[in-house]
Structure 1
Amino acid sequence: MGALAFSVHVFTACGAGFALLAMVAAVAHDWAMMFVWLGVALIIDGVDGSFARAVDTAANAPRWSGDVLDLVVDFTTYVFVPTYAIVAADLMPLTWALAMGFVITVTAALYFADGNMKSADNHFVGFPAVWNLIAFYLLLVRPSAWTTVAVIMIFAVLTFVPMKFIHPVRVRRLRWLNTVALLVWSALALLALSQGLAPQPWVTAALCLIAVYFLLAGLVPARAVAT
């Protein structure tokens, strides 16, 4: 059982390997491939918890902390590699890009160290440092430099604002709708990546609408949904 439990830790750690592949693609400015590898890491992050609970890694492989491992891999895939893309993708003048990269990495590191980052109902408290999604939309839409700076600063500030952001799988409220929205988003994102992040306008519009839904869903009081 110990070997099986350790294999789950290895599976989780593979996310770091895919982060390296994503970084190599990013250095080559192959943004679509970068997001493909980050997507593989995201899938690993989405299922490894179930595997860990099934084999009880805490009891059967206690030498390795699954929580620490998750944080190490997640910071690399959710923050560090996407931030490099934001800095290197000519979205802003280099000086501003470096400054925004500094802001992202510092605020995200603080968020990952926050012991109160999740609420009792499985919402994130504060913007959950998913800079991979911010990078995806910035590279998809490619707004003006000043708009890009504004977006980054807004989400950096929201990291410390005690507002709820929905987890599309773990939050029970409207789980069916969240799941459908997530599946549709995934299909559209794959379509956008297959077209080199230059899809037809309706694809971009649909992706933006789903993003707005997930951004606002956590703000709706539970009583409002129940009624």
Structure 2
Amino acid sequence: MQKIAAWSVHVFTASGLLAAFMGLLAVSEGDFRQAMLWILVALIIDGVDGSLARLARVREVLPRVSGMTIDYVIDFFSYAILPAYLFYEAMDLPHAVRLFCCFAMLLSAALYYGMEGMVSPSGKHFVGFPVLWNMVVYILVFVLPDLSATWLVLIVLGFAVMHFLPILFAYPSRGGRCWVLTLLASVAFILAAIMNVWYYPEPSPLWRGVCLVATLYYAVLAAVDTFSGAGARVP
């Protein structure tokens, strides 16, 4: 029974790739709303599979199967490649500008995945902005669709650079400062994402506000954790 439970967790983790593939098909068909909903499904799967893995003790039960490697493969597709493709197809920008932004997303994400020490020793923080281009693209496409090309390029470049800065970003499922508030902010952000996607292409003022407030909370938390050290050694 333990092996069945452990394999079930790995299959659940791998199902995130299926959700991301459905998102890819939706983007190719021009259905950006459905694509974003599939991206959110992949995000939710990734958000809970770690807790399930610890409950099922998958490392002990299946020591030769690396859930982390499975997770990396899925994450790079669903958090970098798919959002870049969505950005390329959904944004009304010159071709060269869209390509430049997509290249910045993909190159920075690939380099970030190759670096060591990108999770703090406590395991409660990412060091540097984690590869969350799915959420950046969600905000640019569904929450702030009227930004100018200049602002879009600056935002994309800013997040690309933040991959490599010694900034501590909270790992919501691992505890940390104001953990309950962080979880509530995460739930609010996902709920707002669902509603903003539902109202697309006209953003809802209410849910846009919820999204931006939750995003601001994470930014302030990152600043506080970084400057306080949060008990982590930042390389």
Q: Which runs of 5+ in 1 are unaligned?
A: none
| Whole-angstrom CA distance in 2 between matches of 1:39 and 1:94 | 27
Q: Which runs of 5+ in 2 are unaligned?
A: 231-235
CA drift at 1:223: 6.1
1:115 aligned to 2:116?
Answer: yes
CA drift at 1:84: 0.5
| Whole-angstrom CA distance in 2 between matches of 1:124 and 1:216 | 15
CA drift at 1:212: 1.6
| Whole-angstrom CA distance in 2 between matches of 1:223 and 1:80 | 34
Name 2:160's counterpart in structure 1: 156
Most deviating of 23-32 and 55-64: 55-64
1:147 aligned to 2:151?
Answer: yes
1:193 aligned to 2:197?
Answer: yes
After TM superposition, list the pairs within 5 Å mapping 1:30-69 onto structure 2.
30-69=31-70
Under a length normalisation based on structure 1, what TM-score does the superposition of the two structures give?
Answer: 0.91
Name 1:182's counterpart in structure 2: 186
Query: 1:34-76: CA deviations, max 9, x gaps?
Result: 1111111111111211222222222322332111000001111
After TM superposition, list the pairs within 5 Å mapping 1:1-227 onto structure 2.
1-121=2-122, 122-140=124-142, 141-142=144-145, 143-221=147-225
| Whole-angstrom CA distance in 1 between matches of 2:64 and 2:184 | 38
**SS of match in other structure, 1:218:** helix
Query: 1:153-212: CA deviations, max 9, x gaps?
Result: 011011111111122332321012112222222222221111124232232133112212
Percent identity of equivalent pairs: 33
- The letter for the 1-side match of 2:40 is G
How many residues are treated as equivalent by the alignment? Answer: 225
RMSD: 2.0
Is the Cα contact below 8 Å between 1:126 and 1:160 reproduced in 2?
Answer: yes
